Amino acid sequence: MSQSEQTTQKPQHYFSVLTYGCQMNENDSEKYADQLNKLGYFLTEDFKKASIILLNTCCIRESAEKKIHGKIGELKHLKRENPNLIIGIAGCMAQKDQDALLKKYSQLDFILGTNNIYDLDKVITNLIEKKKKKILLAQDEPNKEAEETKTLSHHHLNEGKVSTFVPIMYGCNNFCTYCIVPYVRGRERSRPIAEILKETEALGEKGYKEITLLGQNVNSYGKDKKDQPDFADLLKSVDNIKTIKRVRYMTSHPRDMNSKVIDTIVESIISGNKKLCENFHIPIQSGSNYILKKMNRGYTKEYYQELVQEIRTKVPDCSITTDLIVGFPGETEELFEETLEFMKKIRFDTAYTFIYSKRSNTPAASFDNQVPLIDKKRRLKILTDIQNEISLDINKKLENKVLEVLIEGESKNNSSTYTGRTRTNKIVLFERDEKYKPGQLIDVKITAAQTWVLKGQPI
């Protein structure tokens, strides 16, 4: 038998990664996929085929955790059918719960915290070669050296897609009183600008057309180091990368969003580079100054309104999107009404709305006047109904306009429809035509507007 025949006949080994939570987790999953691939494993979505299953978890709200616990439960039978199967938990819930997860679920082989992202390969090797039984790796401090030096120019999970992510910083220093992120992701660490640019360029060469720069608070990029370029400087540099057509970023903290960033986006449009997109995602969280203060957000609604005014004056065709929490402790009916009034005043293009979820060991978990679930649910419904009306109304004004769309590919539910996004991050659906390919920028005339999508015709 020849060498090549031997290798082709060798059974291949597969891994699956299931990602919960935010884009940062999606990007971490690429890091896991990269390590497993280098160990000789190939990606599969079929759990039955996999020798390694990794759940990359989130603990931002109780609902996220419940879903994940359900999934871990479901994996038990796979482990029973195949005792050699390796099952691991990574991500924010792993960092938070650590050995409690190992104790609770006998089907788990390892727990990998958010400070050990680059150690997955060692964990797998130890489990297989050294026949270790269970591994818990969740150190308190991040591996700064690996974070600074390991750039990923190949994305396995987003392979073939038009758009992907580049982290610019890790962690969060803000300690909003409701939020678990600073406890499971540590303090802010900015990546060196040279690494970010190198990675973005390489991804552009691989064929990605759109890059979203990631951080929990991108506007504080560079502040953790001396003489580091700031976020606006970084945006300006990325705007000059030839291989990329569009650049987005998330998330902005309203307190740290500033004129320099807004002006940089304006310059990008005027200069003709036009990679920086006119979507401003600035989570407000509440429209009541009393609640904002209790949340430790560091701004008032008046400040926020001025910020929106500046953005809308300088970038007239922009979209403004936000996150809102209902039922934060102490939110009375009157304070909730204030949020409704504020939403009507600002008129967000879209709002991601959440029911406040108690996170253990965060300050707000022990605040007085927790709001009963029934009230939270009622408030969420009122809020989303109003927001949907506003979104539809704003979108209706786009009918008959021509917008630049980046084609992403086939629509999920209909292969004869293509889906893409406007610069303002609105989804546009149009009839598929072989003339057009994913990754192309085309002009589309909007023919019908809905709350969440626009329908159009290429011109």
Which residue ranges make up the site for ligand F3S (CB under 6 A)? 21-22, 24-25, 58-60, 91-92, 180-181, 184-185
Q: Which does 403 bind (CB under 5 to 8 A by kind): ligand SF4, ligand SAH, ligand F3S, none?
A: none
To the nearest whole angstrom, how small is the minimum distance from the Cβ of residue 285 to ligand SF4? Answer: 7
Cβ closest to ligand F3S, residue 57 vs residue 339 = 57
Q: Report d(CA 319, CA 424) in Å as an integer.
A: 5
Q: Report d(CA 41, CA 51) in Å as an integer.
A: 9
> In the range 146-185, which residues lie near ligand SAH by CB under 6 A?
178-179, 181
Q: Which does 175 bind (CB under 5 to 8 A by kind): ligand F3S, ligand SAH, ligand SF4, none?
A: ligand SF4
To the nearest whole angstrom, how small is the minimum distance from the Cβ of residue 444 to ligand SF4? Answer: 34
* Using rule CB under 6 A, residue 304 touches ligand SAH: no
Burial of residue 197 (number of CB atoms within 10 Å: 0-12, 13-18, 19+): middle
Q: Is the dihedral of CA 179, 183, 184, 187 positive or negative?
A: positive
To the nearest whole angstrom, how small is the minimum distance from the Cβ of residue 364 to ligand SAH? Answer: 7
To the nearest whole angstrom, how small is the minimum distance from the Cβ of residue 92 to ligand SF4? Answer: 11
* Using rule CB under 6 A, residue 124 touches ligand SAH: no
Classify 142 as helix, strand or coil.
Answer: coil
To the nearest whole angstrom, how small is the minimum distance from the Cβ of residue 41 to ligand SF4? Answer: 32
Strands 52-57 and 13-19: parallel
Q: Report d(CA 458, CA 430) in Å as an integer.
A: 7
Cβ closest to ligand SF4, residue 181 vs residue 326 = 181
Cβ closest to ligand SAH, residue 300 vs residue 447 = 300
Residue in the structure block whose two tokens are 């720069």: 213
Pick from 208, 206, 258, 202: nearest CA to 235 = 258
Cβ closest to ligand SF4, residue 175 vs residue 452 = 175
The answer to whether 320 touches 308, Cβ cutoff 8 Å, is: yes
* Using rule CB under 6 A, residue 323 touches ligand SAH: yes
Could you list the residues that contact ligand SAH (CB under 6 A)? Answer: 60-61, 178-179, 181, 216-217, 251, 253, 283, 285, 323, 325, 354, 356-357, 359
